[in-house]
Amino acid sequence: MRPFAADDAGSFHGRDAEIVELIGRLRAGQREIFVIGPSGSGKSSLVAAGLLPRLARGLSGLGPFVVRELRPGDQPFSRLCQVLDVLPGQPLAATERIGELLTHRAPGASVLIVVDQLEELFTQASSEERERFLDALRALRVEPRYAAIFTLRADFSGALMESSLWPERPAQLARVDVSSPYRRTRWV
Ligand SMILES: Nc1ncnc2c1ncn2[C@@H]1O[C@H](COP(=O)(O)OP(=O)(O)O)[C@@H](O)[C@H]1O
Ligand SMILES: [Mg+2]
């Protein structure tokens, strides 16, 4: 079945704790958050139908956010350029793009990049595309108006931890674990 999308926000239930945790982490100033769980546990739905509609409605002390969503696929760097409105043939200049995307936006606005299915970075992308994508994201860390949320299948958490995207210090790590809502009835 398909994941819940933004249009389904009204019928999306059961993830209040995870949504509160994600919002709390953004409020606390955490700027790269990993949503990790097994395949089918509801990661994409949590972000698309749970978190993003709430951010769009507005929350006191947080945002507004200009949200750009992508799936890495086999060309993650190109996808990143696309969602940051880089013109074909132009260099990325990632931090400058953030400023451009926020032109005419309210003070305090940020760009939130949502990367769904980050595991595709390890399964579909060439190592060159992967490294260009990771370099660009790391370069964005100096920009305080940049935030990112990544969803990742848990069986790829080892690959993520070995990548340059994983924070160097444990205190910088922001991860939200998502388990299947049916887990207890299956296992108890
Ligand atoms: N809170 C929820 N309540 C009921 N069904 C859900 C919920 N979250 C996700 N689902 C359903 O579970 C399935 C997997 O969700 P999805 O978001 O695609 O998971 P993941 O991204 O972790 O693979 C989809 O069919 C989706 O509609
Ligand atoms: Mg998914």
* Span 24-66, pLDDT tens digits: 999 999 999 999 999 999 999 999 999 999 999 999 889 899 9
Write the pLDDT tens digit of every residue in 52-106.
999 999 998 898 999 999 999 999 999 999 999 998 888 888 899 999 999 999 8
What distance in angstroms lies between residue 16's CA and the mean position of ligand 1's atoms? Answer: 14
CATH code where residue 179 lies:
3.40.50.300
- Asked whether residue 117 is domain-assigned, the answer is yes
Q: Is 16 left (phi over 0), alpha (psi -120 to 50) or beta?
A: alpha
- Domain hosting residue 66, numbered range: 18-187
Q: Ligand 1, from 1, 2, 4, 16: best to mutate by most atoms within 8 Å of Cβ?
A: 4
Rounded to two decimals, what is the model's pTM? Answer: 0.94
Pair of tokens at residue 67: 């949200």
* Beta-bridge partner residues of 70: 115
Ligand nearest to the CA of 5: 1
Ligand nearest to the CA of 48: 1
How many angstroms separate the Cα of 147 from the Cα of each of 63, 128, 172, 183? Answer: 11, 24, 13, 31
Q: Is the CB of 179 under 6 A from ligand 1?
A: no
**Tally of structural domains, the chain:** 1
Q: Is the CB of 15 under 6 A from ligand 1?
A: yes
Check residue 9 and report its DSSP letter: G
Q: Is the CB of 31 under 6 A from ligand 1?
A: no
Closest CA to 178 of 5, 52, 23, 17: 17
- Asked whether residue 11 is domain-assigned, the answer is no
- Asked whether residue 13 is domain-assigned, the answer is no
Q: Give burial (CB, 10 Å; 0-12/13-18/19+) of 107.
A: exposed
